[in-house]
Amino acid sequence: MMMMMMMMMMMMMMMMMMMMMMMMMMMMMRMMMMRMMMMMMRMMMMMMSTTTTTTTMMIMMMIMMMMMKTMIKTMMKTMMKTMMTMLFLQLYEAVNVAQSYIIFSWLR
């Protein structure tokens, strides 16, 4: 029984990882976080309905937290790079727009 439970958990973890990756590709940071939290909650609920024992729940929680921590760390690293480039581009654009606007108004 325990082995089965563990196997199930592992499978779920793998699936979750895949989902996370997909979401990472698709969503931005805040959305991601929200989604992740939602997923976690859902998982918890599912587990609750299936497993009545609190010990397994606690273990699940622990695993989840650990995963979250690692995931967030890696995500931050990757995201920071992308975000920085994005921000830089946006800033550049904004500056250009502002300059052009100022020049135009001045010319008038």
Amino acid symbol at 54: T
Of 61, 71, 85, residue with least CA distance to 32: 71
pTM of the model: 0.26
DSSP-derived secondary structure letter, 14: H
Quick check: 35 and 86 in contact, CB under 8 A?
A: no
- Model confidence pLDDT, tens digit, residues 89-105: 666 666 666 666 666 66
Tokens standing for 18?
A: 């895949």
pLDDT band at 59 (very low <50, low <70, confident <90, very high): low
